[in-house]
Every structure is written in C-alpha cells, then in structure tokens.
Chain A
C-alpha cells in the first residue's frame, strides 16, 4: 500500500485552522494510503526528515510556508532548499503560503519530485467563510484521489473557486470571495516534464544577441 505523510503543525491561530482542515484529508487518505500524520503541535525538522525517508509516496503539508520552505514552528524549517532532495520521487500537496514559488520549482526541476501542488503567493482566508476556505484547500487532493491528473485537478479547483466565490458574493461576503479568488489565481501544480524553465538574465541576453546576429546575417546576405 502507498504511504502518505501528513504534516500539520500548530503554533498560532492560522495553523490551528489549517491543522483542523487537514483532519478531513487524513480521514480521506486512509481509504487508499497508509497514513502517517504528525500534527497538532510544533514539529521538528529531524522527525519530518526521518518520516520522509520511510517509503512515503505522498507528502502533505498544511501550515505556514515561505518561498523556500515549510515551517514546523516559528523558528524551524522542516523542509527547505537544503533537504528538498527528500521530495524526490514523491507527490507533494501543500496548503501553505508561497512555497510553490521557489521550493516547489526546485524540488521538481532539480530533485525529481513528481508533482508539487501549492501556492506561489500568500494564502488568504477570512473567518466569516472558514467552511468555504476549507472546501477550497482540500478540493485538490479530493479530486486527485478520484484518479484525475494533477493538471485536471488544478483546472477543477480553479473552476470550483469561481463557484464558491459566486456563492460568497450572493451572501454579501465580498471580502472572502476576493480572497478566495486571489488564492485560486496563485495556485499551481509543477510536474515533471511540464514546467517551463525559468530563464536567467544571461539566457535572455544570449537569445537577444542571437536574434540580432541572425537578422544582421540575413541583411548582409541580402536574404
């Protein structure tokens, strides 16, 4: 049986909510995975590293993230650019801020991570629509567990966000609707082979010079 590791630390209000949302995911995963959950408290780097080494196929993180890491507590980075080699050969599902922007890309581009589902900007939510934000946060994994591809999953969740936003607007919850729409707009799933490589400035200058060189050559040759 496949193994899923769910990591959902608690160390402030936000992580209290995100850990609560992850409980539904743990229950759902139990139908098709051996689930190992580390949740409800501050979590250390070593325990996550050890857990990731134990044949994990799917790694799930609910909590705080930054561009380059997942947080286990206010001070401890449990996964970052130094140990993301541990994400190699795994699928990753995140409900955290920003981590898809750098860590996710790095894990897929350089470390052999199969797929990285997450957000490239802050995840925004409000207390007047907690049920809806939970639905949105969990929708991707629920859809994926039905057997759909990651690409289809992201498309589905973005459309689902529009449906929820419409419902929220009809209830006069414009702020929550706007927040949810923002979250959907920064949702991505990086996958092996489907990533557009980020161009460095050097690459851009090289391409530009090549184009000029080609054009000049054509003019010289009278083509």
Chain B
C-alpha cells in the first residue's frame, strides 16, 4: 500500500473543509465549522478566536488524522 504522510492526509481534509466551510463538526459538546477546522489544520491560528478552542481543535484534528490513517490502512482511499 502506498504510504501517505500526515501532511497529505491534512491536505485532503483541508481541501474538503474549504469546499464546505459552513458544515459543522461536533466533538462532544464542542462544535466547530469546517471553516474553523481548515484554519487550524493549515496552522492559521491567528485567524481563529480563543486560545483554548485552538488547543481543543488541534487535539481533535490529530484524532481525525489518526483515524483517517486507519481507514487508509484498510485499503480505503
């Protein structure tokens, strides 16, 4: 299976998030728009309000990348 780097996965998620910025993702009780997610994945944290929220979304974004890697490992791309 072709190796996919975290950056490539990130890029895929960023592209999708940018295509539909108004969709929302809920991590438990905390919600973010896909637009927010794209900003954090791109590292454009200055455009994002609330330090705590950035840390929170950063943590969750890592979980998404890890999960996507598992999906990829099953041969789904």
Q: Interface of A with B (CB < 8 Å)?
A: 12-14, 17, 64, 97-98, 122-128, 162, 165-166, 169, 172-175, 177-179, 181-182, 185
A178 with B65: CB separation less than 8 A: yes
B26 with A128: CB separation less than 8 A: no
A125 with B13: CB separation less than 8 A: no
Additional 20 contacts, C-beta under 8 A, given A128-B23, A177-B68, A179-B25? A12-B29, A13-B31, A14-B26, A14-B31, A64-B29, A122-B60, A125-B26, A128-B20, A162-B71, A162-B74, A169-B71, A175-B16, A175-B17, A175-B64, A177-B71, A177-B76, A178-B64, A178-B67, A181-B67, A182-B63
- 27 pairs, A vs B, C-beta closer than 8 Å: A14-B31, A97-B28, A97-B29, A123-B28, A124-B26, A124-B28, A124-B60, A126-B24, A126-B25, A126-B26, A127-B23, A165-B76, A166-B76, A169-B71, A169-B76, A169-B77, A174-B12, A175-B16, A175-B17, A175-B25, A175-B34, A177-B68, A178-B67, A181-B67, A181-B70, A182-B63, A182-B64
Q: Which residues of B contact A13 (CB under 8 A)?
A: 26, 31
A98 with B28: CB separation less than 8 A: yes
A97, A123, A126, A178: the one within 8 Å of B23 (CB): A126
Q: Which residues of A contact B68 (CB under 8 A)?
A: 174, 177-178, 181
B17, B34, B67, B74: most-surrounded residue (chain A CB, <10 A): B67
**Secondary structure call for the B interface:** helix
Bound-state Cα–Cα, A162 to B13, Å: 18
Q: Which residues of B contact A165 (CB under 8 A)?
A: 71, 76
Bound-state Cα–Cα, A179 to B28, Å: 11
- In this assembly, does B37 line the interface, its C-beta being within 8 Å of a C-beta of chain A? yes
Closest Cβ of chain A to B43, distance in Å, is 17
Bound-state Cα–Cα, A124 to B20, Å: 18
Closest Cβ of chain B to A136, distance in Å, is 13
